[in-house]
Structure 1
Amino acid sequence: MSTVPATRVRLQDAGRGMRGFLAWWAQGLSAWLPAAWRGALAASSDRLLLQLADDDLLLLRHQGADGIRDIAALPVPPPRSNSADPFATLLSDAGRALPRWVLLPAEAGLRRTLVLPAAARERLHDVLGFEIERQTPFAAADVVYDGRLLRTREDGQLETELVVVPRNRFDAVMGRLPGVADGLAGVELAAADGRPLGVNLLAPASRHRTRRVGWAWSLAYAGLGVLALVLALAQVLDNRRAAAEALEREVAQRSAQARGVSQQRQRLVDAVEGGAYLQGLRNARPSVAEVMDELARRLPDGTYLEKLSIDGDQLTLVGLSNQAAALVGKLEGARQWRAPALSGALQQDPRTRSDRFTLDAKLNDAATPEERPRAAR
């Protein structure tokens, strides 16, 4: 017999707010995993169904993701006098670990479809409890009940189903199973086609909580995933930090190179500008050779120079001459200098009977008089 997993009314499925967000987030994360991983991480929905037959036979069935399959049909075991499992010889270790449910026949219960406001979603079980006496011929104290959410309508209202089983029928069935009633995880009601509805008629205080290995593996896998994520983020952070440090070192190295190149360029510019300035100064004055050549042509015979000094634009001549008084006139009009004049008094040299003189003049620009107006323009 094939079936689909039962639909239970669960707060985490019907809830809103943070619980709904966490469910949506977990579902989104699981969608990224391979199908084999999702199957390993998912909590198993397998369970062991116990169903009474008309001839006092107990049907033992396994319900899993692939449907319901029959395991065995055996007489109802008598009440246990010890803690031995009556199904130990029929089930494997994994089968004995499955949660056990009693499946009641469809005619044992009463089902009513109700439309409730959306505000009833959070406390659906309690709201359905108030509807028992209005929707069924039983009092609330005389039944066991549960409900399920069928769908949410377009107008936001909830289409639900109330499932009620009279307590005397419930107790009668449970009384015929004294050997297996202990340790039950729940009591189901079958639909018309024999499939479980997806409700639990057993009181919460009486439900046996089976330790599921799948949850332990899920927690282990989740912890491993969180650890892997933390390590991956730490590695990414280390890589970014190393890349930032490498970039910082490269920037510092390039900055130092740029500063060195800038300093060398500045020194080169200063040298070129200094050389151009000095060359301009030299070009602005006549050369020493030109000055000496002009002096050789203008100084008369009997005149000897002991010293010739050029300091900036200052020309100074020191020497002996037998025509010292006429030197100023002979040096005037030269292109290389201007305003020649004797500095100090003439002193006669007793040895040569010539006059010692000191003569100063101002050097002119190197341009000719004809070129000066043109340069000024």
Structure 2
Amino acid sequence: MSAALGGSLRARIAGFWRWWTQALSTWLPLRLRELFGLARERLLLQPAGEGLRISVEGADGVSPLAELPQLAEGVGDPLASLLVQRVARLPRWLLLPPDAVLRRRLPLPAAAGDRLREVLGFEIERQTPFQAASVEYDARVLGRRGDGQVETELVVVPRPVLEARLAALGAAATTLTGVDVDAGDGEALGVNLLPGARRHRRVDPWLRWNLVLGAVALAATVAGFWQMLDNRRAAADAFEAEVGQAAERARGASAQRQALVDLVEGMAFLQAARAARPTTVEVMDELARRLPDSTWLEKLTIEDTRILLIGLSNEAPALVQRLEGSPLWRSPALAGALQPDPRSGRDRFTLTAELVVAPTAGQTRESARARSNP
């Protein structure tokens, strides 16, 4: 079972390889196909009376090449001196006339297509008057039917007939790659009736060089892709480094911008706070206008919004009344008791008041918001 599956798999791979190379070769001009051996040409040797007709089968069909008279026995390869170098390298096929073979068309299940020759080998004795051991045969697929079966054809040639045809070629018979059958219209059926052991295998002298060049090309391709990938990685690393540097610069610029915003906001706050409260000069001027001439100040302190006055005055009890009503402060009051000063004859006083600070714009908005949302 495993051997059958292996053979089926190899047949499918070989069929796919042939189809793929043929499909690729159709894109090349004929001269290039001939140069690289992709033209799928073969040399057809067809008995014609006492002589031999030589034709070349290629992509454009069968083209007659030459006709030879009767071949002399004991002579070496009679085609070697006749054929030009390019044609001499083509695989040689003997083309049998249609009346030399027996053909039978048989429908088979689609599953039999993978082992077509083996399946039809069991049908030889049922479909032909010959014994399977006395013939050479091959099979081909003609098409697929609508019911899922494949239409096949069994081609059989008696071995004596084949041997007689091969013997007529003389030494050229040993150079044959296969034996095909004339379809009657100048074309070949596409079968090979020559036993596998007798098929001439042509060794391509350039095969080793082609393999070496193919390996070099493959290695160069892999190296090119690897270099391309390495370049992409290097470019990605460089781009990542540039992005990191740009991000670092952006973070630095953002930090500087934030510092500048904080500085501007701080200066604006200080200016707003300074504008919202009276200056020391204004406070001193207002005190000079409200305090009587008999009053001396020893100390004037302004801490935040608190004003502290320490001095001597003959009218100390009336100072609170004189300081009331000023737009620069509010709530003036004496702190502690009056103390007589024996040297000056005046009373020492300590007086406090609170500066009037106008609300800033932010405080005004917050107060308005608080009033609107109780």
TM over 0.5: yes
Contact preservation (8 Å) 1:50, 1:59: yes
**1:315 shift after superposition:** 0.6
Q: 1:26 to 1:177 in 2, by over 3 A?
A: closer
Q: Which deviates more from structure 2 when the two are superposed, residues 120-129 or residues 337-346?
A: 337-346
Aligned-partner SS, 2:193: coil
RMSD (Å), alpha carbons: 3.7
- Say whether the 8 Å CA contact 2:276–2:357 is kept in structure 1: yes
Aligned to 1:306: 298
C-alpha distance in 2 between matches for 1:98 and 1:128: 30
Is the CA contact (8 Å cut-off) linking 1:305 and 1:319 kept in structure 2?
A: yes
Q: Deviations over 1:307-351 (max 9, x none)?
A: 32111011112333344444334334433222321456636263x
Which aligned pairs between 1:166-205 and structure 2 lie closer than 5 A? Answer: 166-205=158-197
1:281-325 alpha-carbon deviations (Å, 9 max, x no partner): 334433323322221122111222233211101111233334444
Relative contact order higher in (CA < 8 Å, ≥ 6 apart): 1
Partners of 1:147 and 1:199 within 8 A in 2: yes
Q: Work out whether 1:50 is the aligned partner of 2:42.
A: no
Matched, 1:140 2:135: no
User: 5+ unaligned residues in a row in structure 1: which ranges?
Assistant: 1-10
- Residue 332 of structure 2, aligned match among 311, 318, 339: 339
- 3-state SS of 1:182 partner: helix
SS at match of 2:46: strand
Distance 1:19 1:357, change over 3 A: farther
Tell me the secondary structure at the aligned position of residue 301 of structure 1. Answer: coil
- Per-residue deviation, 1:245: 3.9
Q: Structure 2: which amino acid aligns with 1:58?
A: L
Aligned to 1:286: 278
Q: TM-score, normalised by structure 1?
A: 0.77
Percent sequence identity over aligned pairs: 49
- Aligned CA distance change for structure 1 residues 24 and 98 (closer, same or farther; 3 Å): closer
Indicate the residue corresponding to 2:200 in structure 1: 208
The whole-number CA distance in structure 2 between the counterparts of 1:28 and 1:169 is 37
CA spacing shift, 1:174–1:34, aligned 2, 3 Å: closer
Aligned CA distance change for structure 1 residues 23 and 172 (closer, same or farther; 3 Å): closer
- Give the counterpart letter for 1:53 in structure 2: A
Stretches of structure 2 lacking an aligned partner (at least 5 in a row): 1-6
- Return closer, same or farther for 1:183/1:136 CA change in 2, 3 Å cut-off: same
Are the structure 2 counterparts of residues 21 and 289 from structure 1 closer, same or farther at C-alpha, using a change threshold of 3 Å? farther
CA contact (8 A) 2:22 2:38 kept: no
Higher helix share: 2
Change (3 A) 1:25 1:193: closer
Match of 2:3 in 1: none
Does structure 1 conserve the Cα–Cα contact (< 8 Å) formed by 2:327 and 2:356? yes
Deviations 1:119-160 (A, max 9, x none): 211111122222222222211122221122122222222212
Partner of residue 59 from structure 1, selected from 28, 53, 59 = 53
Taking a change above 3 Å as real, the CA distance of residues 29 and 303 of structure 1, as seen in their structure-2 partners, is farther
Assess, with a 3 A threshold, how the Cα gap between structure 1 residues 194 and 26 changes in structure 2: closer, same or farther: closer
Deviation at 1:200, TM superposition (A): 1.1
